[in-house]
């Protein structure tokens, strides 16, 4: 009997992807069955049957134990780790206190940050405080990728705002890896608040793809010779005090020539190779500011609500911002990871499982 058949027959197992050691995802990950007792909700939890979850670059870095993905805590013997930072699904069961809170109901669609109940599994046990209701107009494929990437985008925008010499528009910003899922949201939110964006991608093909799928700001390919001149021409006489960067590495050297003295590179990813030379930063008063999405938790509750509302609004009115590169059943996780890791991808790769078997 297959995993799905066993689940359908309700024989008390769920399917999960797990790893007992850090290493190359294709080598260390395996698909297993685990007892449902592991996800039995406590008084303040919900049991969510997960339908879709993204493969974030951070998921793959974390599985590999790469420091760019954050601190890899030791995996205790006999307690393998299931990846997955967020997901979407349907509430199947509510813990006793959670049921009395009345905010959520069995059968409701929710998205959530996983906490300890990782999402690369057909079921997650989730504290009700981590659940966010999904409006009918927002598809599962969009809802599955909203939380972390919009939080990251808001943290990036805030860091950029804080780096301005005067908090006044007009502001011109350069973005690297502009076709990435996070940067697409940064572009959309930045345009809403009146920023002028100049977008960099590494290939001409990527530039064409981005211009077609998210028009509205110039896109320049860094594989073209003289790309800095193209950027200067797009800048005109406007200074650039802030660069939003997800590539880091050797590209930082090229970027700083475009930045005004006293300017800041706001960096949230390290997709590139080679080491930057920061020796010219001090004489020009430049700053390199790393940010991480968890800083969003430090925003006030009113700001968090405002950001959530903005994210939902964006998902409803411009779902194409949350592009979907491909969807694969959990069992095909190796193919999905290959797709997620490869070049030329437009959007997020999702792992899927059926809801309501």
Instruction: Give residues in contact with ligand NAP (CB under 6 A).
Output: 56-58, 148, 152, 177, 179-182, 201-203, 206, 246-247, 268-269, 271-272, 291-293, 343-344
Distance in Å, CB of 57 to ligand NAP, minimum: 4
Contact 262, 284 (CB under 8 A): yes
Distance in Å, CB of 271 to ligand NAP, minimum: 4
Distance in Å, CB of 249 to ligand NAP, minimum: 7
Distance in Å, CB of 2 to ligand NAP, minimum: 31
Nearer CB in complex with ligand NAP: 224/292: 292
Distances (CA, A) of 19 to 189, 299, 307: 36, 33, 34
CB atoms near residue 101 (< 10 Å): 12
Helix axes 333-341, 57-64, angle to 10 degrees: 110
Residue of this chain nearest to ligand NAP (CB atom): 269
Nearer CB in complex with ligand NAP: 62/138: 62
SS3 308: helix
Nearer CB in complex with ligand NAP: 104/293: 293
Nearer CB in complex with ligand NAP: 8/212: 212
Distance in Å, CB of 344 to ligand NAP, minimum: 5
Distance in Å, CB of 185 to ligand NAP, minimum: 8
Nearer CB in complex with ligand NAP: 57/95: 57
* Region of residue 73 (left: phi > 0; alpha: psi -120 to 50; beta: else): beta
Nearer CB in complex with ligand NAP: 91/259: 259
CB burial of residue 310 (10 Å; 0-12, 13-18, 19+): middle
CB burial of residue 171 (10 Å; 0-12, 13-18, 19+): buried
Say if residue 170 is preceded by a cis peptide, omega within 30 of 0.
yes
């Amino acid at each position: 009997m297959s995993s799905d058949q066993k689940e359908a027959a309700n024989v008390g197992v769920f399917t999960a992807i797990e790893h007992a050691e850090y290493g190359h995802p294709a080598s260390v990950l395996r698909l297993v069955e685990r007892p449902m007792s592991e996800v039995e909700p406590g008084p303040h939890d919900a049991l969510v049957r997960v339908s879709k979850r993204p493969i974030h670059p951070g998921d793959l870095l974390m599985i590999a134990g790469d420091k760019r993905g954050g601190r890899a805590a030791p995996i205790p013997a006999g307690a393998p780790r299931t990846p997955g930072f967020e997901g979407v699904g349907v509430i199947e069961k509510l813990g006793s206190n959670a049921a009395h809170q009345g905010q959520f109901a069995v059968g409701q669609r929710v998205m959530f940050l996983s906490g300890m109940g990782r999402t690369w599994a057909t079921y997650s046990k989730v504290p009700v405080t981590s659940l966010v209701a999904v409006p009918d107009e927002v598809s599962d494929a969009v809802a599955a990728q909203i939380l972390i990437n919009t939080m990251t985008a808001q943290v990036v925008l805030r860091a950029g705002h804080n780096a301005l010499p005067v908090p006044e528009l007009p502001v011109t910003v350069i973005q690297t890896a502009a076709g990435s899922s996070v940067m697409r949201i940064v572009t959309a939110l930045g345009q809403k608040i009146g920023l002028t964006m100049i977008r960099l991608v590494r290939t001409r093909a990527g530039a064409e793809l981005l211009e077609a799928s998210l028009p509205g700001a110039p896109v320049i390919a860094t594989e073209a010779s003289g790309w800095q001149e193209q950027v200067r021409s797009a800048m005109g006489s406007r200074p650039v005090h802030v660069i939003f960067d997800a590539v880091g590495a050797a590209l930082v050297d090229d970027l700083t020539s475009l930045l005004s003295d006293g300017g800041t590179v706001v960096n949230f990813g390290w997709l590139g190779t080679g080491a930057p030379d920061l020796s010219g930063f001090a004489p020009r008063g430049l700053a390199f500011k790393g940010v991480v999405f968890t800083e969003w938790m430090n925003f006030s509750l009113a700001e968090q609500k405002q950001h959530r509302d903005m994210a939902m609004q964006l998902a409803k009115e411009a779902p194409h911002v949350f592009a979907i590169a491909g969807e694969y059943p959990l069992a095909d996780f190796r193919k999905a990871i290959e797709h997620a890791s490869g070049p030329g991808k437009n959007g997020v790769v999702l792992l899927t499982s059926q809801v309501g078997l």
